[in-house]
Each structure stands twice: as structure tokens, then as C-alpha cells.
């Protein structure tokens, strides 16, 4: 079978993949591309006599080569349309181990309409989250309780309370805090939710706690139920380490419960960071939106401590926060149909002084999370939260932080620590 067809016009119900391919020595880009299409669809390494007409009809087709970038169209019949694991076993499976490739990266993916119809997408989405808090004119503001590990349930709750009292909307667990011997999940939820209610009464604002339910699926369901039973509208899941099948299972389990799924991407850089090999964070983000993640960490566009340049992060933000993305350069189009938007989360090394640049680059439809940039304030967590809220107010009013700091002592101390 010939897997190269530059005259082929992709159909609405084709799944499209954009790969970056570097062939091994003695192979051309065309040969490498054909083998990627073959191995990820119906072919194998040698001639076989069992190929039927159906196999010929549903084979993948390389229709565009712009060395080192290759676009491949896959007919929908190649996939179990409701299964992300099967999808990735095809377009993200054996192909990465072929000897004729020096490197291979899945850069982008476009889902067919028939596949979109099999998924719920985000249950709450950006508009629903803003409605939950009645916050529409600024970024959502949050923190991660620090240190990551070491605090007991009451200590954890006290830190959360101070952050809420200082003006933040959301407090979340860190990615490696689940149910430890010194900080059990249920006790932590009990203590934190009590102080959440207290902070809401004292501030007159809606507050939320993202409890990390990451665990085997059966346990995640129990932890989700416990959070919901305590009045929480959120669950947090480490989506890479639990796996796509587990995320699908949890999204199905939470149907109709109006619960926000906050998706932490811990572990993604093991396969997304290389510019030549692996699977891009853009692809991870699209899969997360398809399955139903309401919030997803995507980076800080060059601000903060995490890798991720501005162009790449903004491309991801558009993919999860737009309903119709046009094909442009090395970007595939995607009409999301009835799949709702996922809220972009910017987190990692942020402090109040970074807010102007963050909003300038990423806009106001972000959830900005500050860990050390809140708790590391010279006067502690509550002052750090106040400094963040003051910085946000200044940015949204078009004022410089320097000007605003003249009348906000918490912001001034934050800028003195981190900006000088």
C-alpha cells in the first residue's frame, strides 16, 4: 500500500496529526513519513497476504510534507471513537520506537466531529466557573498551600484561611499532597472547608478549595464524594500520572454533579519538553479539553519558573479557550462543536510583580496561581494575598504597580522583595 498521497483532501471526519520527523541516516523524510503512517494505521514492516479492501480504504495518508513537518490524515474507522487510550496507542504508540527515526514529535492533533460527539467536554467551563464566583472582570486568583508537604491538617487549613482572608479566590493542594500519614485527606478536607466557610462570611466573597483526589480510580471516586459532601465544587486531579483512562472514568462519574475538574499536569515535561521528540503540551491540552477538564495548567508564557515560551503557551491557551481555531502555519484547525472551553491556569514561580506581564500576554481569562509568591511575602500569607489582589486591581485599572504600591503597603513590600 502507498501511504503517501499529496493530492488527498482531508475529510471532516478524518483525524489529523501534525508530526515533526527526523529520519535516521539513509532514510528520506518521505520514507520516514510513510512508515509513520503505516505503523500507526494498518501496515506492518513487510509484505503480508492478509490485506483486504477495507484495510486499503481506511489506511492513513500522508498528504503534506514540509520537512521536518508532516501532516497525516486518519479515517475515523481506525479508532474506537470514545477511547483516548486506543487513540494514543495508534498515533502515539509504536511509532516512537521505530529504528528508521532519529526523533518523532506529535505536535498537534485535530479531532473529527464524530469523536467530539462521544465526549462531554468540560462540565462547568470558563463561564460556569466565573458564575460560581461572580467574578467577571479580572483573572481568578489562587494559591497553592506551601510547603508542599509537611503541614498537618489544621496547619494546612490555617494557611488556606489566611490566603482567602487576604483576597484570593481559590486555594489548592500541591500535586504531591494526597493522603499522607501526617495529613490525611478527610481530616484536611474537614479542617479546610470549615475555615473556607469562615473566610466567606468574613469577606463576603465566594471561596473554593481544590482538594487533590489523585489516587487509584476507586479511591478517587470516594474522595470526590467526600469533597462534594462537604460542600466543595472542586476536585483536583494529577491527570498525567493517573492516565487518560482514569480521567475519562472520573469525568463520567462526575456527570451531572456540577463539579469543576482542576487538572494538574505533573509529569508532562517527561515527554513534552523536548522540541524534537515526544508529544507536545498542545496535544495534552486538547485531549484534556475533549475529555472534560475544566481547568488546566498550561504555563506562564515565560514569566515565572517553569519552561514554556510565550508563543507556545498562547497557542495552547487559544486551543482550549476558543470554540473555532483556524489552521495557520504549523497549527491545525479545530471546530469544537458543543465541547465547552477549558480555563487556562498560569502557575509556577509567580509573584505580584509578574501580573502586568502575565495579563498583557495571556489576557484576563486565566487563573493565576501564586505559591511562594504569596506565602513568601515578608509579612506572611495574608499580606501576600493582599499584595496579589492589590496588583490585580492596579492592572485591571490600567495603573502601574509602582504607582499602586505607594498606597498599598503589602504590594510595596512584595515588589521590594521580588522586583529589586
Q: Which residues are catalytic?
A: 146, 264
Output DSSP code: residue 82: T
Three-state secondary structure call for residue 85: helix
Decide: 369 and 350 in contact? Cβ < 8 Å. yes
| All three cell numbers of 276 | 524534537
Euclidean distance between CA atoms 398 and 230, whole angstroms: 39
Question: DSSP string covering 256-324, please?
Answer: TS--EEEEE-TTTHHHHS-SSSEE-HHHHHHHHHHHT-SEEE---TTSSSS---HHHHHHHHHHHH-SE
Euclidean distance between CA atoms 220 and 224, whole angstroms: 6
Which long-range CB contacts under 8 A does 315-320 form with residues at least 24 apart? 315/282, 316/281, 316/282, 316/285, 316/344, 317/344, 317/362, 317/363, 317/366, 319/282, 319/285, 319/286, 319/289, 320/285, 320/286, 320/288, 320/289, 320/296, 320/344
From the CA atom positions of the chain, what is the Rg in Å?
A: 23
**Cα separation values, 37 from 95, 103, 193, 305, 392, Å:** 9, 15, 51, 37, 48
Euclidean distance between CA atoms 226 and 186, whole angstroms: 8
Three-state secondary structure call for residue 178: coil
- State the DSSP H helix or E strand holding residue 344, giving kind and residue range, or none if neither: strand 343-347
For residue 194, count CB atoms less than 10 angstroms from its CB and return exposed for 0-12, middle for 13-18, buried for 19 or more: middle
State in Å, rounded, how far the first CA of the chain is from the last one: 64
- State the DSSP H helix or E strand holding residue 373, giving kind and residue range, or none if neither: helix 372-375
Instruction: Describe the strand order of the beta sheet including 170-172 as a list of residue ranges.
Output: 208-210, 170-172, 140-144, 366-370, 343-347, 295-297, 260-264, 234-238
Decide: 347 and 297 in contact? Cβ < 8 Å. yes
Amino acid at each position: 500500500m502507498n501511504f503517501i498521497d499529496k493530492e488527498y483532501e482531508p475529510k471532516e471526519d478524518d483525524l489529523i496529526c501534525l508530526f515533526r520527523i527526523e529520519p535516521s541516516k539513509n532514510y528520506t523524510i518521505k520514507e520516514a513519513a510513510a512508515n509513520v503512517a503505516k505503523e500507526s494505521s494498518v501496515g506492518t514492516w513487510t509484505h503480508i497476504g492478509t490485506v483486504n479492501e477495507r484495510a486499503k480504504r481506511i489506511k492513513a495518508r500522508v498528504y503534506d510534507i514540509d520537512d521536518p513537518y508532516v501532516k497525516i490524515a486518519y479515517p475515523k474507522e481506525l479508532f474506537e471513537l470514545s477511547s483516548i487510550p486506543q487513540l494514543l496507542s495508534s498515533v502515539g504508540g509504536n511509532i516512537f520506537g521505530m529504528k528508521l527515526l532519529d526523533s518523532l514529535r506529535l505536535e498537534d492533533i485535530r479531532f473529527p466531529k464524530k469523536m467530539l460527539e462521544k465526549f462531554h467536554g468540560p462540565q462547568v467551563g470558563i463561564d460556569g466557573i466565573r458564575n460560581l464566583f461572580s467574578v467577571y472582570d479580572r483573572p481568578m486568583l489562587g494559591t497553592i498551600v506551601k510547603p508542599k508537604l509537611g503541614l498537618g491538617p489544621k496547619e494546612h487549613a490555617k494557611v488556606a484561611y489566611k490566603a482567602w482572608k487576604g483576597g484570593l479566590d481559590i486555594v489548592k493542594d500541591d500535586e504531591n499532597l494526597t493522603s499522607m500519614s501526617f495529613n490525611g485527606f478527610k481530616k484536611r478536607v474537614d479542617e479546610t472547608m470549615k475555615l473556607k466557610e469562615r473566610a466567606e462570611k468574613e469577606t463576603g466573597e465566594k471561596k473554593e478549595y481544590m482538594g487533590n483526589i489523585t489516587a487509584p480510580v476507586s479511591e478517587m471516586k470516594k474522595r470526590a464524594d467526600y469533597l462534594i459532601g462537604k460542600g466543595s465544587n472542586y476536585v483536583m486531579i494529577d491527570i498525567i500520572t493517573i492516565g487518560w483512562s482514569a480521567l475519562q472514568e472520573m469525568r463520567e462519574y462526575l456527570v451531572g454533579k456540577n463539579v469543576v475538574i482542576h487538572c494538574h499536569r505533573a509529569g508532562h515535561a517527561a515527554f513534552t519538553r523536548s522540541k524534537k521528540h515526544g508529544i507536545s503540551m498542545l496535544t495534552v491540552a486538547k485531549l484534556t479539553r475533549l475529555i472534560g477538564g475544566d481547568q488546566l495548567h498550561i504555563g506562564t508564557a515565560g514569566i515565572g519558573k517553569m519552561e514554556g515560551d510565550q508563543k507556545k503557551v498562547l497557542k495552547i491557551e487559544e486551543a482550549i479557550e476558543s470554540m473555532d481555531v483556524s489552521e495557520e502555519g504549523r497549527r491545525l484547525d479545530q471546530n469544537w462543536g458543543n465541547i465547552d472551553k477549558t480555563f487556562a491556569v498560569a502557575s509556577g514561580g509567580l509573584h505580584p510583580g509578574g501580573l502586568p506581564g502575565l495579563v498583557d500576554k495571556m489576557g484576563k481569562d486565566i487563573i493565576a496561581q501564586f505559591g511562594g509568591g504569596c506565602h513568601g511575602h515578608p509579612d506572611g500569607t495574608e499580606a501576600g494575598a493582599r499584595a496579589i489582589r492589590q496588583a490585580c486591581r492596579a492592572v485591571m485599572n490600567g495603573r502601574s504597580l509602582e504607582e499602586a504600591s505607594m498606597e498599598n503597603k503589602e504590594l510595596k513590600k512584595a515588589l521590594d522583595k521580588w522586583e529589586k
